[in-house]
Amino acid sequence: MAEVIATGTPRPRSRNSKRARALLSEPKVVFGGGFILFLLILAILAPWIAPKNPLEQDLMSGTLPPFWVDGTDPNFLLGTDDLGRDVLSRLILGSRIALVVAFVAASLAAVIGTLLGLVAGWYGGWIDKVISRLVDIWMAFPPVLLSILLVAVFGSGVHSVIAAIVIIDWTRFCRVVRSETQAQAQMDYVTAARTIGFSRIRILFSEILPNVAPVLIALVSLEMGIAVIVEAILSFVGLSVSSDTPTWGGMIAEGRQIIYDGWWVLAAPLTALFATVLAFNQLGDGLRRALDPVMRR
């Protein structure tokens, strides 16, 4: 009785534990999710973990190499930039902006795109045509150029970066969710729900949405990686947060100017950016494999 109800249907707790085992058995979820969790903890505790003040300048200690290079200062594990600022501390503080943009922008884009995709796929007709044409028009614009234009209009700042990503990337979710909703609407369980007398809204949100959720969760993870890249691009061109706030894109822009004197200033944020995007992509692929019942077979 602890595992099943009287009809023989597994209890939610049993289904959840089965789903958790499927997630933990997927290497991409473990490694990708583990790295993101580590980065999240690092970002939350950044003010206490960062060994130095990331804004503190010491021109006498400019372009000191990392700890494994001869002639370095052991107090600066990843060296310093041309202004004598600690690269490791700036890298740690920069992870906060990257993750805030990733989580907030991807979540908002998912909410907007999912709602529109559900409505378009379920109701069809002129509603579907209007939303589909809007998506086609919106996706005709180059996303990076459009994001730069939007941030230039809104003004610099993390809120502007998030708004630009949401305005651009809701279309990704809308197209996928619309297609999945149309496929789920033809399933037998939807027909049964209609026969029982469920309303269209109830069928949409209590029956179809849970079956679209696995694909949606994986897509959100992939979108977070894209958001990290977009924020780095905007920081690189000086359209993200103020120059006083450490960002990975800003560090890349600074390191590019002194690459021959301090290659590590460029290499550190590039490595962090690559590892973070790769982790989000691996996590998204792993979630899709673990949560999709067809792919688990």
Give tens-digit pLDDT for 59-112: 777 788 888 877 677 788 888 888 888 889 999 998 998 999 999 999 999 999
CA angle 278, 279, 282 (to 5 degrees): 85
* pLDDT, mean of residues 168-179: 89
d(CA 178, CA 132): 9
pLDDT at 3: 40
pLDDT at 9: 41
Options 1.10.3720.10, 2.60.40.1890, 1.10.530.10, 1.50.10.20; CATH of 12-296 = 1.10.3720.10
Q: What percent of the chain has pLDDT over 70?
A: 89
Per-residue pLDDT for 7 more than 60?
A: no
What are the domain boundaries of the chain?
12-296
- Retrieve residue 217's tokens: 């969760």
